[in-house]
């Protein structure tokens, strides 16, 4: 039976059709299906009126493609003798085609992640069938058409099935190749409806029947269809390309903003790291080396305390302008945070080269700064480290910092070069590394929890677990001090496992099923055993995987792109959610969003801090929210500390916030009223005071 069906379809395609017309129809179909899927991808990333416009365009092109494919292929149908097409029904079939495809795409586009997505594909496929059989009713021929109903049903089922597959691949991509699978499935859907539908025909010739004079001839219809499709495809392609070009320009502008410090206009830490990586590989001349100069502003805290933060910002802006004006070819300066700056020269042949650069910068920094009738004065001390074969790039900054603190001991406006005698800091880190291992066994570590709140209602929606170390002699060692040491020593893997297990155990004991966010270190993400560890901890603690949110930084992804993608997919298959942490601080964050299936974006606090005072910070946060909305990824803003921050984020549509405005990280005992509220006190009622 199957062989008979295939033989009938084969005979219809290769014997009853002129293959030249079939080839033309397939060419139009391939171009139209490709554009339809690409336009539909725009639909899924838009909102409001813009979403409706792209939906109409996708439906119009998809419906017109189906209609044109049908009638171009019909021009090559050779068994009918003299034939033509009734004008009214022919045009009606075009309207049905456009309406059916648009309806199917609309159901899929507005169906979210539910089965409505595939249901929209089924509607689309049935729309293809409606167009085909209405179009065939317009076919006037010298003979009688007898239909094989089993083939009719088969064509409708094939169209519905492959259209559902097309929508599934377009809207639920697993790899970047899924969109090509969606195009292929849509091509098969349209072709199946037509050619299986044509195989359903038995044409009984009857020369006594006359073709009405009012019909459209095949030649006229063919030229009209081909001309119309070329115009439509050209217009749709132009619209798509213009939109793609606009997005590329926005992406490049955002990248430039993300590499720039919004207050001073200088490059930021990410830009410096990019520049240093490039400089470490490419020397500018024979014998030239790279020197790093680290410096901050002496007496800057006093300026802030006496004159306020506006004065401090004015000092930073002025010094940023001055430093930028004295940088020469082969030199680079960046603000890396607070009053901390870093400079680099690629033309280091001897100490005099770095000393001259340091002297130029010191001369600009010590000049008085006039502000509101006051003369503000700051100084600096510069530490210099040289990039040699025996030092890693990531250790270079630490060496420059050590030299800077030695310079401060000498006196303000001093310059000090790093040497091995300053390695006491390194020995100190080694001691802390050993203390960490024993401290974990002695129970010196504990978790603190910081609220994550709904921006609009203030409701607590979850907590981030943050590690704290109560050292027996040093008391509270800040995470900024011991986490980098744990990462360098490799102990972060063991420490991270303890944090994950403890956070899951605690969260599983809460009466209110709030989410718990845990940071994942680069080494953890690179460990192929990590997904298995997460699965074991979830089973051991009984925590619902949907409540666990694993926060991953861009650094962890860049280290091994392919392994990171595999690990993230494995973690998502367990039911855990994945968040991109510190978004905006890296130079390839946008490509990360497109390549990785993130469930949340966390905007870094350095951008949130400046939204009320810096147009650039506001632009970066606003751009992130727009991009995330287009990709249907919720956003949480970190570092929210003021009413201005909250109001800005509410106006821009940020859904979640975290920061001192809502609460500092606190021990487990201080969140009891939220996580174990009475039964009728649901999580959505646990609002910030």
Q: Is 260 helix (H, G, I), strand (E, B) or coil?
A: strand
What is the phi/psi pair of residue 642, to 5°? -135, 165
pLDDT at 679: 46
Give the burial class of 464: count Cβ atoms within 10 A of its Cβ; 0-12 exposed, 13-18 middle, 19 or more buried.
Answer: buried
Of 331 and 280, more confident? 331
Average pLDDT over residues 334-349: 90
Indicate if 665 and 620 belong to the same structural domain. Answer: yes
Indicate if 306 and 223 belong to the same structural domain. Answer: no
Indicate if 91 and 187 belong to the same structural domain. Answer: yes
Cα angle vertex 394, ends 431, 411, to 5°?
75
pLDDT band, very low/low/confident/very high, at 545 (cuts 50, 70, 90): very high
How high does pLDDT run on average in the chain?
A: 84
Residue at a domain's end among 224, 253, 282? 253
pLDDT at 84: 73
Q: How many CB atoms lie within 10 A of CB 356?
A: 12
pLDDT band, very low/low/confident/very high, at 597 (cuts 50, 70, 90): confident
> Residues 179-236: pLDDT tens digits?
889 999 999 999 999 889 888 888 777 666 666 655 666 666 666 666 666 666 666 6
**Three-class HEC string of 420-466:** HHHCHHHHHHHHHHHHHHHHHHHCCEEEEEEEEEECCCCEEEEEEEE
> Residues 494-541: pLDDT tens digits?
999 999 999 999 999 999 999 999 999 988 998 889 999 999 999 999
> Residues 116-141: pLDDT tens digits?
888 999 999 999 999 999 988 888 77
| CB 138 within 8 Å of CB 93 | yes
Residue at a domain's end among 229, 253, 277? 253
pLDDT band, very low/low/confident/very high, at 561 (cuts 50, 70, 90): confident
Q: How many CB atoms lie within 10 A of CB 133?
A: 18
| Pairing between β-strand 340-348 and β-strand 331-337 as defined by DSSP bridges | antiparallel
Indicate if 629 and 554 belong to the same structural domain. Answer: yes
470: left (phi > 0), else alpha (psi -120 to 50), else beta? beta
pLDDT at 685: 41
CA–CA separation, 626 and 485 (whole Å): 37
Alpha-helical regions (H) of 294-447: 300-307, 309-325, 351-365, 393-410, 424-442
pLDDT at 689: 33
Percentage of residues in the chain with pLDDT exceeding 70?
85
Q: Is residue 591 part of a domain?
A: yes
Indicate if 413 and 357 belong to the same structural domain. Answer: yes
Known active-site residue 252: no
How is residue 267 written in tokens?
A: 């490059």
Which among 638, 641, 652, 670 is annotated as catalytic? 638
pLDDT at 426: 64
| CB 101 within 8 Å of CB 128 | yes
Question: Lowest-pLDDT range, 87-101, 113-127, 246-260, 324-338?
Answer: 246-260
Indicate if 653 and 624 belong to the same structural domain. Answer: yes
pLDDT at 207: 65
Average pLDDT over residues 383-407: 82
**For residue 639, pLDDT beyond 70:** yes
Q: Is residue 117 part of a domain?
A: yes
Indicate if 240 and 382 belong to the same structural domain. Answer: no
Indicate if 238 and 302 belong to the same structural domain. Answer: no
pLDDT band, very low/low/confident/very high, at 615 (cuts 50, 70, 90): confident
pLDDT at 163: 92
Q: Is residue 17 part of a domain?
A: yes
How is residue 238 written in tokens?
A: 């132009």
Question: Lowest-pLDDT range, 45-59, 264-278, 311-325?
Answer: 45-59
Residue at a domain's end among 422, 440, 462? 422
Element containing residue 134 per DSSP (H, E): helix 116-137
pLDDT band, very low/low/confident/very high, at 682 (cuts 50, 70, 90): very low
**For residue 247, pLDDT beyond 60:** no
Indicate if 536 and 581 belong to the same structural domain. Answer: yes
Q: Is residue 263 part of a domain?
A: no
| Pairing between β-strand 666-667 and β-strand 445-454 as defined by DSSP bridges | antiparallel
Of 84 and 41, more confident? 41
* Overall domain count for the chain: 3
Average pLDDT over residues 96-108: 91
Indicate if 223 and 303 belong to the same structural domain. Answer: no
Nearest C-alpha neighbor of 162 from the set 180, 186, 133: 186
Indicate if 539 and 659 belong to the same structural domain. Answer: yes
**For residue 238, pLDDT beyond 70:** no
Q: Is residue 487 part of a domain?
A: yes
Nearest C-alpha neighbor of 636 from the set 663, 667, 605, 674: 605
pLDDT at 686: 46
CA–CA separation, 49 and 67 (whole Å): 27
Question: Lowest-pLDDT range, 260-264, 293-297, 318-322, 549-553?
Answer: 260-264
CATH number, position 539: 3.20.20.450
Q: Is residue 262 part of a domain?
A: no
pLDDT band, very low/low/confident/very high, at 265 (cuts 50, 70, 90): confident
| CB 75 within 8 Å of CB 21 | yes
Question: What distances in angstroms separate CA 2 from CA 5, 149, 155, 161, 448, one per listed residue?
Answer: 5, 16, 15, 18, 66
CA–CA separation, 46 and 259 (whole Å): 27
Average pLDDT over residues 324-338: 90
663: left (phi > 0), else alpha (psi -120 to 50), else beta? left
**CA dihedral for 342, 346, 352, 357, sign (positive or negative):** negative
Distant-in-sequence, close-in-space partners of 37: CB < 8 Å, separation ≥ 6:
166, 170, 179, 182, 183, 186
pLDDT at 440: 93
pLDDT at 245: 57
Nearest C-alpha neighbor of 346 from the set 261, 275, 288, 418: 288
**For residue 652, pLDDT beyond 60:** yes
pLDDT at 40: 86
Indicate if 418 and 442 belong to the same structural domain. Answer: no
Which structural domain range is residue 273 located in?
269-422
Average pLDDT over residues 337-362: 91
pLDDT at 299: 84
Distant-in-sequence, close-in-space partners of 183: CB < 8 Å, separation ≥ 6:
30, 33, 34, 37, 166
**For residue 687, pLDDT beyond 80:** no
CA–CA separation, 500 and 589 (whole Å): 25
Average pLDDT over residues 529-556: 93
How is residue 576 written in tokens?
A: 């855990």
pLDDT band, very low/low/confident/very high, at 240 (cuts 50, 70, 90): low
Average pLDDT over residues 560-565: 79
**For residue 688, pLDDT beyond 50:** no
- Count of residues in the chain: 689
> Residues 27-66: pLDDT tens digits?
888 988 988 888 888 787 777 777 888 888 889 889 988 9
**For residue 108, pLDDT beyond 80:** yes
| CB 344 within 8 Å of CB 293 | yes
Question: Lowest-pLDDT range, 253-257, 481-485, 618-622, 681-685?
Answer: 681-685
Of 588 and 660, more confident? 660
**For residue 681, pLDDT beyond 70:** no
Of 409 and 462, more confident? 462
Average pLDDT over residues 419-442: 81
CA–CA separation, 322 and 300 (whole Å): 16
Q: Is 152 helix (H, G, I), strand (E, B) or coil?
A: helix
Percentage of residues in the chain with pLDDT exceeding 90?
37
Average pLDDT over residues 469-473: 90
Write the DSSP assignment of 1-36 as a string of letters.
Answer: -HHHHHHHHHHHHHTSB-HHHHHHHHHHHHHHHHHH
pLDDT at 128: 92
pLDDT at 646: 93
Q: Is residue 387 part of a domain?
A: yes
């Amino acid at each position: 039976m199957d062989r008979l069906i295939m033989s009938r379809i084969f005979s219809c395609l290769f014997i009853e059709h002129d293959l030249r017309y079939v080839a033309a129809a397939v060419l139009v179909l391939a171009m139209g299906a490709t554009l339809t899927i690409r336009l539909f991808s725009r639909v899924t990333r838009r909102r409001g009126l813009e979403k409706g416009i792209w939906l109409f365009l996708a439906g119009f092109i998809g419906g017109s493609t189906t209609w044109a494919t049908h009638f171009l292929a019909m021009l090559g149908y050779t068994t009918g003798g003299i034939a033509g097409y009734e004008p009214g029904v022919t045009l009606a079939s075009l309207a049905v085609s456009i309406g059916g495809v648009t309806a199917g795409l609309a159901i899929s586009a507005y169906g979210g992640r539910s089965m409505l997505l595939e249901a929209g594909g089924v509607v689309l496929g049935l729309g293809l069938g409606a167009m085909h059989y209405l179009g065939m009713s317009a076919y006037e021929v010298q003979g009688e058409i007898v239909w094989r109903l089993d083939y009719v049903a088969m064509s409708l089922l094939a169209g519905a099935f492959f259209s559902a597959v097309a929508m599934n691949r377009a809207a639920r991509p697993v790899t970047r190749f899924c969109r090509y699978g969606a195009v292929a499935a849509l091509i098969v859907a349209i072709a199946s409806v037509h050619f299986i539908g044509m195989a359903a025909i038995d044409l009984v010739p009857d020369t006594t029947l006359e073709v009405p004079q009012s019909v459209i001839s095949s030649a006229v219809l063919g030229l009209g269809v081909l001309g119309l499709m070329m115009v439509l495809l050209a217009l749709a392609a132009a619209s798509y390309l213009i939109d793609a070009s606009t997005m590329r320009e926005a992406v490049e502008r955002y990248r430039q903003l993300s590499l720039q410090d919004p207050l001073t206009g200088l490059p930021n830490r990410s830009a410096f790291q990019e520049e240093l990586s490039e400089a470490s590989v490419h020397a500018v001349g024979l014998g030239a080396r790279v020197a790093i100069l680290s410096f901050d502003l002496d007496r800057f805290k006093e300026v802030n305390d006496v004159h306020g933060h506006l004065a401090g910002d004015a000092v930073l802006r002025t010094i940023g302008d001055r430093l930028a004006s004295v940088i020469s070819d082969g030199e680079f300066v960046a603000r890396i945070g607070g009053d901390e700056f870093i400079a680099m020269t690629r033309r280091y042949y001897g100490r005099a080269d770095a000393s001259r650069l340091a002297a130029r910068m010191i001369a600009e920094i010590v000049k008085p700064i006039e502000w509101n009738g006051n003369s503000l004065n700051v100084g600096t001390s510069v530490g210099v480290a040289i990039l040699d074969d025996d030092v890693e790039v990531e250790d270079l900054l630490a060496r420059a910092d050590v030299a800077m603190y030695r310079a401060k001991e000498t006196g303000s406006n001093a310059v000090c070069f790093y040497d091995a005698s300053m390695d006491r800091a390194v020995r100190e880190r080694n001691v802390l590394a050993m203390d960490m291992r024993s401290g974990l066994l002695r129970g010196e570590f504990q978790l603190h929890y910081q609220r994550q709140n709904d921006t609009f209602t203030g409701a607590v929606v979850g907590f981030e677990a943050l590690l704290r170390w109560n050292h027996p002699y040093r008391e509270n060692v800040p995470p900024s001090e011991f986490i980098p040491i744990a990462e360098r020593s490799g102990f972060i893997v063991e420490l991270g496992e303890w944090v994950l297990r403890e956070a899951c155990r605690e969260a599983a004991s809460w009466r209110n099923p709030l989410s718990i966010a845990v940071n994942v270190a680069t080494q953890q993400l690179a460990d192929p055993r990590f997904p298995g560890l997460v699965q074991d901890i979830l089973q051991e603690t009984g925590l619902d995987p949907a409540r666990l949110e694993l926060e991953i930084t861009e650094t962890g992804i860049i280290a091994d792109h392919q392994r990171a993608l595999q690990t993230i997919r494995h973690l998502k298959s367990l039911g855990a959610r994945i968040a991109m942490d510190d978004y905006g601080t890296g130079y390839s964050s946008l490509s990360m969003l497109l390549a990785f299936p993130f469930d949340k974006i966390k905007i870094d606090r350095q951008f949130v801090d400046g939204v009320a005072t810096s147009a650039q910070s506001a632009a970066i946060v606003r751009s992130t929210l727009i991009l995330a909305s287009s990709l249907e990824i919720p956003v949480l803003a970190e570092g929210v500390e003021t009413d201005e921050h909250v109001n800005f984020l509410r106006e821009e549509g940020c859904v979640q916030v975290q920061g001192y405005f809502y609460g500092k990280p606190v021990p487990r005992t201080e969140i009891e009223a939220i996580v174990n509220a009475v039964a009728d006190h649901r999580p959505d009622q646990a609002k910030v005071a």
